A = this chain, B = another copy of it.
Amino acid sequence: MSKVPNSRKWHRSLTIAGGGRNLMDPRQRIDQALERALGRTTAPGAPPLLAQAMRHAVFPGGGRFRPRLTLGVALACGDDAPELTDAAAVAIEMLHCASLVHDDLPCFDDADMRRGQPSVHKAFGEPLAVLAGDGLILLSFQNLAEAAALHPQRLGTLVSLVADAVGVPNGIVAGQAWESEPEVEINDYQRAKTAALFAAATMAGAAAAGGVAADWRILGERLGEAYQVADDLRDVASDPETLGKPVGQDAALGRPNAVAQFGVAGAVGRLKGLIDEAVTSIPDCAGAQALRALIRKESESFLPQALASYAA
């Protein structure tokens, strides 16, 4: 259930931008890398139900938008260490999945469904859901460390990037914890809950390929903010089947929401502005032009159909 259509086109073009080094469809490349990484869960001595719960959290998956960004930037930077690129993309996606598993727990959203199937705690019980989330966080780092064997000097940056994006003070865990505070500032909250991992996704792609991570921060941050604003718009515009999760959830839970703050037209304007800034920020490199065009094209699909008239 991808939130981003036309993904096949995006993949093919990025593959070409990357010099044709890896002819595999990027979605396939990401899923195969995730599959390999999950191999540890069924190694001798591993508890079988935990393995099933961790797999359930990762497959079939959503749009894989974040790891596709990692791959896209790594390809634009030359992708000279494909195993490390894969591990970076896997870490980004697994950390995202872990956050979804824990967010769905009864003490948070108490969500019955996720990505069109029962949430992990509904399918496997709460203990295995807590452990599956923990296990995925750890697996991200186990996998990164192993993949960095040939490029040890790139590991520190990668570990810092992905761990900071999920931890304190400004990552997903911190963002989620703001919901336990009496007051929350919408920009801090959304930056931590969404933009941080998007920024890590682009920067990790660069770092895995030996590029300069910081040059790719704005691209990820702006796309992450745009994704969050689009999610807020979807929350008011979509029906439950399209989304795969209950509609109006943010309002029901009293969460900060860009539509509530700026109105629909204001939120659409903000979304477009963020995408412009994202595209403009792409640094000059071999694949820059192609990446700019693709991101602009992909981002059009952020806006729900029902709100297309606002985009005029």
Contact = CB atoms under 8 A, between A and B. Distances in A.
Contacts of A54: 168
A105 B178 CA distance: 20
A156 B163 contact: no
Given A45-B170, A149-B156, A160-B146, A180 B127 contact: yes
Contacts of A153: 152
Contacts of A148: 156
A50 B177 contact: yes
B135 A107 contact: no
Chain A interface, DSSP helix/strand/loop, else mixed: helix
A34 interface: no
Nearest to A146: B160
Copy number in this complex?
A: 2
Given A137-B137, A163-B145, A173-B138, A181 B108 contact: no
A128 B163 contact: no
Contacts of A42: 169
Contact of A45 (B41, B47, B130, B188): B188
Contact of A180 (B46, B50, B108): B50
A133 to B, nearest CB: 7
Nearest to A133: B134
A179 interface: yes
A92 interface: no
Contact of A168 (B43, B146, B156, B192): B43
A96 interface: no
A142 interface: yes
A126 interface: yes
B169 A142 contact: no
